[in-house]
Structure 1
Amino acid sequence: MNRRNFIGASLVGLTGLMVRPAWAALPDALNPALLTKAKAALEQHRKSVVHTDIIGIADYSLHSAKPRFHIVDLESGKVSSLLVAHGKGSDPKHTGWLKNFSNVPGSEASSSGAYLTSNTYTGKHGLSQRLKGLDPSNNLAEARAIVIHGAWYAEQKMVKTHGKLGRSQGCFAFSETDLGQVMARLTPGHLIYTGKA
């Protein structure tokens, strides 16, 4: 192979690497098995999901001190990982580990399954976003007022001071800084998948 052909072949190879989503280079925090489940949920609920380019994945097998909410661009393969708090009822002793999921009203627990992002509003937690549960494991999300909102106890300084985040009443609670990114990228009609790897 002459030098020109070698360079040409190299460029073709590089182009292929740049075009395809870089799933081989996923952050350690994003578990491939959970990504597979999230993609399956996206396919299952495709009729309900308006936007299929970006999804959110909450990996509650990770400790609350870890960035475990992943905003995944399925077209480019880019992943942004953020801190997110889980519900009190899922971690009664406040260890930072989610012990169980629940869909029971009053449980103050996080629920597993697929959610559809809905409209934003301003409530007692400030700017918030409603969620619709798409699975039997979370279909009472609206009745339970499970939403996305910002919270002081989901800030990075909580991890530095206490080694873990505080707990919500079952909602997806983010730092005020990260809340803007979540709402800007997961606008109404996107899928969020919650589970354990």
Structure 2
Amino acid sequence: MMRRVLPFIASLFMATPLASPISKSMATGVRTEARTPSAKEMQTAFYEQNLHSLYQSLNVEQQGLRYDVFEKAMTGYLNLKQDQKLGDKQLLTVVDFSLPSTEKRLWVLDLATKQVLFHTLVAHGHNSGENMATNFSNENESNMSSLGFYVTDSEYMGKHGRSLKLQGVDQGYNDNALMRSVVMHGADYVSEDFIRQNGRLGRSLGCPALPMDQYAQIIDAVNGGTCLFINGQSPTYSSQYLNTELAMNAYLGGTQTTI
């Protein structure tokens, strides 16, 4: 695929010359000299073109999933795959807590078939905020949501019924998730009826709680080592899995699923 696409990308660079020394003065007319793009520039263009193409194929922009959030989620997904932390399912779950709880802000994406399997409501932690989640914590009994990348773990029956354990992989941001019992589970306060009555969703003790009519199907889909990314408005959050260079090299190296 790279051999087929790179000549096309090179032609785009040739058609739109990059900055280079001006060969003539303004008095006599300006002419720029086109140059052949480097292999690195062509690889970057190829990777970004495929990422944008996937975003468009999933048709998630009209559902409210911004490209910058999608790009971060995909970067982490590719890096986690490269580190062999994920299973065989090519699924990516994105939660965007920069959106209000009254909006559907969870997406389960099938990257193999380029389909949105679920797009639904999801609750944040009680102490993270009212309708908007603005505070996040990795501390036990903080009753706040934790940002970052997770890998889905095993299921169990708990006080909320069927639940899915989440392994936080961002040290200092969500790696206490298992100890805090931050899990996926169903909750009756995650519904359109609750929003109509209260102006927002109910809130959890830090779990990404799901609607009762969908939580079982979502757990069925995403269990067994799939990637979950929880995004939020935090100036301090960082992650080793947001290394774009490594993600691009992993993808171009052919070790990952086709974008």
TM-score band by shorter chain is 0.7 to 0.9
Matched AA of 2:122: V
Uncovered stretches (5+) of structure 2, i.e. residues with no partner:
1-52, 234-259
Partner Cα distance (2:150, 2:85) in 1: 10
Post-superposition offset of 1:60: 0.4
Partner of residue 68, structure 2: 33
Partner Cα distance (2:146, 2:185) in 1: 16
The reply to whether residue 69 of structure 1 matches residue 69 of structure 2 is no
Residues 171-182 of structure 1: matches in 2 within 5 Å? Answer: 171-182=207-218
Partner of residue 15, structure 1: none
The reply to whether residue 122 of structure 1 matches residue 157 of structure 2 is yes
8 Å contact kept, 2:55–2:70: no
8 Å contact kept, 1:52–1:191: no
Deviation string, structure 1 residues 66-90 (Cα, Å, up to 9, x no partner) = 0001111112322231100000121
Deviation string, structure 1 residues 140-186 (Cα, Å, up to 9, x no partner) = 10011100011111122111222210000000111111102211210
Return the structure number with greater strand share: 1
Return the structure number with greater helix share: 2
8 Å contact kept, 1:21–1:76: no
Partner Cα distance (1:114, 1:22) in 2: 19
Partner Cα distance (1:151, 1:124) in 2: 11
Aligned residues: 175
Matched AA of 1:115: Y
Partner Cα distance (1:22, 1:42) in 2: 14
Partner Cα distance (1:160, 1:60) in 2: 20
Partner Cα distance (1:161, 1:138) in 2: 32
The reply to whether residue 146 of structure 1 matches residue 182 of structure 2 is yes
RMSD value, Cα: 1.6
8 Å contact kept, 1:42–1:52: no
Residues 57-136 of structure 1: matches in 2 within 5 Å? Answer: 57-79=94-116, 80-91=118-129, 94=130, 96-136=131-171
The reply to whether residue 45 of structure 1 matches residue 80 of structure 2 is yes
Between 137-146 and 181-190, the greater mean CA deviation after superposition: 181-190
8 Å contact kept, 2:104–2:121: yes
The reply to whether residue 165 of structure 1 matches residue 209 of structure 2 is no
Deviation string, structure 1 residues 88-110 (Cα, Å, up to 9, x no partner) = 1211xx2x100121101111100
Matched AA of 1:84: V
Post-superposition offset of 1:119: 0.9
Partner Cα distance (2:193, 2:223) in 1: 27
Partner Cα distance (1:89, 1:178) in 2: 25
Post-superposition offset of 1:22: 6.1
Partner Cα distance (2:160, 2:54) in 1: 36
Partner Cα distance (1:108, 1:196) in 2: 16
**TM-score (structure 1 length as normaliser):** 0.84
**SS class of match (1:44):** helix
**TM-score (structure 2 length as normaliser):** 0.64
Partner of residue 196, structure 1: 232
Post-superposition offset of 1:56: 0.4
Uncovered stretches (5+) of structure 1, i.e. residues with no partner:
1-19
Q: Which has the higher contact order (CA 8 A, sep 6+)?
A: 1
